[in-house]
């Protein structure tokens, strides 16, 4: 497997309809007209992913006040996402992409470096999608800690 194709500003955001942590479905089309922060993370309830989710949770009110909706995406099953939501008080949708097709379409699944080795997995990434469904920002290989604060600065919110 080679490095995945990456999205760039101006590209259309790949459409999706996925099952959420509540068992409902969420489509990107459902969010048209709003700006969306879609962030891809490797696995619910792991330390880095928990830190990142809690940072988004803690910033959710100000992100929403600035016109952003937040959605987390991982290959985890909806049942695990529900446990993650309940354990950590996550207050935004978490969507399940078990076959990794959406993650792949966003360039957030493929070869990456992990502890000096090349492995295949979810590439921690964040996508800012404009109200028309176009990529505004595509950030790959982000750090779990400090990423939300940096994103807020980059979006002019801090």
Find the catalytic residue in 7, 13, 49, 148: 49
Distances (CA, A) of 27 to 62, 90, 92, 133: 23, 19, 14, 12
For the question of residue 54 being annotated catalytic, the response is: no
Catalytic residue annotation: 49
């Amino acid at each position: 497997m080679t490095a995945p194709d990456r999205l760039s500003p101006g590209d259309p955001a790949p459409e999706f309809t996925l099952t959420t942590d509540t068992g409902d479905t969420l489509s990107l089309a459902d969010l048209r007209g709003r700006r969306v922060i879609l962030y891809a993370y490797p696995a619910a309830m792991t330390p880095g992913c928990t830190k990142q989710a809690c940072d988004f949770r803690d910033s959710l009110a100000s992100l929403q006040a600035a016109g952003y909706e937040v959605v987390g995406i991982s290959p985890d099953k909806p049942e695990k996402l529900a446990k993650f939501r309940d354990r950590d008080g996550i207050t935004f949708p978490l969507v399940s992409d078990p076959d990794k097709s959406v993650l792949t379409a966003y360039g957030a699944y493929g070869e990456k470096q992990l502890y000096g080795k090349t492995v295949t997995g979810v590439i921690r990434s964040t996508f800012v999608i404009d109200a028309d469904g176009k990529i505004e920002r595509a950030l790959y290989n982000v750090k779990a800690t400090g990423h939300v604060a940096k994103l807020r600065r980059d979006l002019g919110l801090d």
